[in-house]
Structures are given as C-alpha cells and as structure tokens.
Chain A
Amino acid sequence: MADTLDQLFVLLKHSVVGWLPAQWQPLGSAIISVAAIILIFAGLFAITTVLERKGLGRIQNRYGPNRVGPYGVLQPLADGLKALTKEDIVPRAADQVVHFLAPLILVVPVFLALAVVPVGRNMVAVDLDAGVLFFFAVGAATELSVFMAGWSSRNKYSMLGAMRAIAQMISYEVPLILSAVTVIMMVGSLSTVRIVEAQGSYSGWLPDWHVFTPWGLAGFVLFIIAGMAESNRSPFDLPEGESEIIAGYYIEYSGFKFALFFLGEYIGMFAISGLAITLFLGGWHAPFSFLTWIPSYVWFFTKLLGIIALFIWVRGTLPRLRMDQLMNFAWKFMLPMALINLVTAGVWHFMPPGIVRWLVCSLLVLAPYVALARGLLQHKAIGKRTYRYAD
C-alpha cells in the first residue's frame, strides 16, 4: 500500500504512456514530465507569493493580503488576472527585440534546471549523468537575461541594476559551485539521482544526510547563503534596491512581462532550494527511519517549503546589504570558507570513522570561521549602536 502510494504518480504516468502507440511513447513521457514540472512549480509559486506576503505581514506587524477569498488565499488569482490585463508598455527608446526576449530567457532556463531535481523516488524528468553540471550550466543563462533586460530598457537605473545583479551573481556563483563540489567529491557522481541514493541509509533511526557532517553543514550554510544571493533574495536584493535604483533591471517592464520576471525569480529560488535538498538534505528521503512509509514526494516538498519559510524569515528579518559589504562577504569570507571546506571534505574522506574524525573536521571548519571573522572585523569597532540623527 505504502509502495503504491509512493509510486502513485510514476504508475499513473506509465499507464497514460502505455495507451500511446510505441513510437509516440518517448515523446508522450517527456511531455507529461514537462507539464507536471510546469504545473506543480507554477502552482507552488502562487502559494508561495501569498505565504510570503502573509508571513512578511506577520513579521512586520500588519495583516498582509486579506481581501480576496477567505484570509486572502485567492490573492495570487487576482494578481495573475491583473498582470494579464494590464497594458504592456515598452519604452520608445527600448531595444524592442532584446526587451521582448529577456523575460523568456530568464524563465526557460530556470524551468530547465528543475528537470534534474529528483522530487521523489523514480520521480525525475531526466536522470543525466552530469546532472549537477547541467543545473549550473542552465543557471548561468539567467545572468545574460538580467543583462539583456537592463541594457535594452535604455534606462540608467535599469542598467545600474543589471550591473549590480551581474556582479553579484558572478561573485556568488563561485562559492555556490565550490560548496556543491564537496558533495560531488564525496559521492563520486554528478548525477542528482546517485547523490540522493548515497544519502539513503540510516544509522540507528537517524539519517546519513550530508548536512550531518562538519563539511556538509558548512557546505549547506554556504550553499544556502550563495543561493539566496543567486536568486536575488533579500538581504541580497541590491539589484532591485527600491530606495536607490527604484526596481533595478525590470524597471521598464509592466504587465505580464513583469509577472514573468517575478515567476522566474521564484522558480529560480525553488530550483536552488531543490538542489540544496538534493545535495545536503537527503533529497526525498525521510528524516527518520520509522517515517519511511510516508511517500517520498511529500518529504521533498515538505523540505522545500521549509527552506522557503527560512528564506521568507530571513527576508523579513535582515536589512539589505551595502554593495561593498556584499562583495567583501563573497570574496573575503565565502570564498576562503568554501576552499577550506573542500580540504575538510578531503580529510573527512581519508580519516577512519570515529570521534577523532569528527573533532578534527569540526576544528577544520570552526577555526577558519573564527579566524576569518576576527580578521575581517579587525579595524572595525563593534559596540553599542549609536544613532546620529534619530535619537
């Protein structure tokens, strides 16, 4: 029974594909997978927008949307209708073709990236031999879309926003990939399915996820921070800093093109979170060995919603960074930590299992963390905050 429930969607797909004539079966299977990814993650996008606005409202001591439907849950529907019916304004000076293509070039790669994220047992659109590499390769195309949007609008603010976004994305891509490399080193495969399988065992009733090792914990934290910056989430939302450059690279977009940018940003966030779950949080595996009867996709989406909740919480809590703080953090803190974490993973691999390995590797993570933090704060006096004007 539990097995059938677990494989429910896989069996459903097989039965639908089985009705098709033989030469159409590969195409039919691909179309069903693609349609499922687009529908599920676009639906999740709608749910997330309302959860985020509600959550932020709660954090900021206000109600959030509460007019459309009970408790405002139908707000995404109203937003979607509004975006669809709004006039699509393109500036006269804008580069028409590039301006039109930019949102498409953002949305297509982020959906493509989801194709290699396993959302359940046997539930992955394509099991590529180089899955993680594919993920980062298609993710790289989003930078180009941001540049196209910023440049084609012929607006100084959007150009500034695009430049900020490109600088930020390139800087944080380095620690992002370096922290993912540790997992690839330990598992010995670039395939996302193999990486999830490698975390499938349990010691006692606790799972053997990568996050429960010193290198995995450091890698996970680095990966989540870099992923937050890659998807332009607060506190790394400088590209759209409303108070300085109005809305950044999508300032000249309205109507449905703006909605596409919004969608692309959120789907990108889901993709990065999905990869973080795959690499560090055991993919679709249950967190305790006695809970394995719950279907695998339930666990994946529970973890995904957990990470999204973390993102919303961070967004509601931390103020936006300054540009120099952002760059310093990437290059002077994240990059050295990611490089040291690679060494830690190597040490972990070659030491015999036991308490000594735990101590040595924890020290290898903690000592550079303390040393780097102390070193970077050397010249700055951190004390009680004083206000010059607002007293």
Chain B
Amino acid sequence: MTAPFAIIAALTIASAVCAMALRNLVHCALSLTLTFAGLAALYLQLDAQFVGFAQILIYIGAVAILIVVAILLTRGSGPAQQPILSPLWIGGVAVAVVVFSLLTAMIASSSVTRRGFAPPQPDITVRQIGNQLMTKYILPLEVIGLLLTAALIGAVIIAMQEKETK
C-alpha cells in the first residue's frame, strides 16, 4: 500500500462516513461529493484517465448537483429532527456484513488474486477505448446514443408546448 493510495482511501472512507453521519442533509450531500472525488482519484491513481475524468464530470458535475437540488426542492435545508440512527440499524448492519462477505469471497475466489501481486499493467489509452467503442461495442454505443438523444429531444419537446396565456 503506497502513501497516495492510503491518503485517498482514508479521505474517501472518512467522507463516506460523514455522508451518513452528519445531521444536515446538504452537508451529507457535499461529503458524498467528496467521496465521488476520492473515487475519481483512485481511478486516476490506477492510470485509468478516461474513467477518472468521466467520474468527475458525471458524478461531481451532474449527480451531486441533482442531489442537492432535489434536497432543496423536497424539504427544508435545516437539520433533521429525527435521530440519525434508524431503529432498523441492526438490519442495515446485517445487510452490510452479508454484502461485504459476499464481495470478499468473490474477490478471493477470482483468478486475479492467483496471478500474484504484480499483474502486468495494461496501458489503456483513451484512443484504444475509442477504437473499441467504435468497432467491437458499436451496437451498445449506438443504442445508448439513440436513447439519450431521444430522451433529450423528448424533454425539449415537452418543454416546447408553452401554456396558452389569456
């Protein structure tokens, strides 16, 4: 474990804990944003430039904004009245333990760990990702692109129908 990894991991985990534990919902959302940034830093540390930047662009630029706007539109931004710990916390802990042990078991049984601790580092450039998207994965890309463009234009057309005034 290298020092940068330790710092990034500690920051990510601490901000994730804050996102659950803070009383003010907007503070929770902001610490969740910090968690997203920590994840992006982890991707970048693994030399995955494209995923890292896409994570920042989508999660910090769009998802975090969506969350804070949703919080402001649905309730007051003051601190919540009810206690932070839900009465069902035992169930939550049980689910977390089950998921964690399942993930650990899966990772332990996968072929990645048997390959030893220094796997050959794949040198994936953005160009290679683009080439793969344009050749091997062209159909999923086209379907997603069509879906998103249709959604975008649909939203504009819904907004286009201005209400008749007078």
Chain A interface residues toward B at CB < 8 A: 95, 98, 128-130, 133-134, 136-141, 143-144, 147-148, 151, 159, 163, 166, 170, 173-174, 188-190, 331-332, 335-336, 339
Contact = CB atoms under 8 A, between A and B. Distances in A.
Contact of B160 (A141, A163, A332): A332
A163 B62 CA distance: 14
A137 B61 contact: yes
A143 B61 contact: yes
Given A134-B53, A339-B149, A166 B127 contact: no
A332 B124 CA distance: 38
B156 A332 contact: yes
A163 B71 CA distance: 13
Contacts of B156: 331-332, 335-336
A26 to B, nearest CB: 15
B57 A136 contact: yes
B33 A144 contact: yes
Contacts of B57: 133, 136-137, 140
Determine chain B's interface SS by DSSP, over half rule: helix
Interface string B55-97: 0110011101100110010000100000000000000000000
Nearest to A375: B160
Contact of A130 (B61, B64, B126): B126
Contacts of A141: 56, 60-61
A336 B72 CA distance: 30
Contacts of A140: 56-57, 60-62
A128 to B, nearest CB: 7
A128 B50 CA distance: 10
Interface of B: 24, 26-27, 30, 33, 49-50, 53-54, 56-57, 60-62, 64-65, 68-69, 72, 77, 125-127, 149, 152, 156, 159-160
27 contacts: A95-B24, A98-B27, A129-B126, A130-B49, A130-B50, A130-B126, A133-B50, A134-B53, A136-B57, A137-B53, A137-B54, A137-B61, A138-B56, A140-B60, A140-B61, A140-B62, A141-B56, A141-B61, A143-B61, A143-B65, A144-B33, A151-B68, A163-B72, A166-B69, A170-B62, A173-B61, A332-B160
Contact of A170 (B30, B54, B65): B65
A335 B50 contact: no
B152 A335 contact: yes
Contacts of A336: 156
A151 B50 contact: no
A173 B61 CA distance: 10
Contacts of A190: 126
Given A331-B156, A331-B159, A332-B160, A147 B53 contact: no
Contact of A151 (B26, B60, B64, B127): B26
Contacts of B49: 128-130, 133-134
Nearest to A136: B57
A144 B149 CA distance: 26
Most buried by A among B62, B72, B125, B126: B126
B130 to A, nearest CB: 8
A186 to B, nearest CB: 14
A45 B24 CA distance: 37
A144 B64 contact: yes
A81 B126 CA distance: 46
B97 to A, nearest CB: 33
Given A133-B50, A141-B56, A339-B149, 9 more contacts: A129-B49, A130-B126, A139-B61, A140-B62, A148-B30, A151-B72, A151-B77, A163-B69, A332-B160
A140 B53 CA distance: 11
Contacts of A129: 49, 125-127
A166 B53 contact: no
B30 A98 contact: yes
A381 to B, nearest CB: 15
Nearest to A148: B30
Contacts of B127: 129, 188-189
Contacts of A335: 152, 156
Contacts of B160: 332
B32 to A, nearest CB: 11
Contacts of B65: 143-144, 147, 166, 170
B159 to A, nearest CB: 6
Nearest to B64: A144
A128 B72 CA distance: 37
A299 to B, nearest CB: 28
A328 B113 CA distance: 54
A95 B79 CA distance: 12
Given A143-B65, A332-B160, A130 B53 contact: yes
B53 A144 contact: no
Contacts of A136: 57, 61
A170 B64 CA distance: 12
Contacts of B126: 129-130, 133, 190
A170 B68 CA distance: 14
Contacts of B72: 151, 159, 163
A148 B50 CA distance: 27
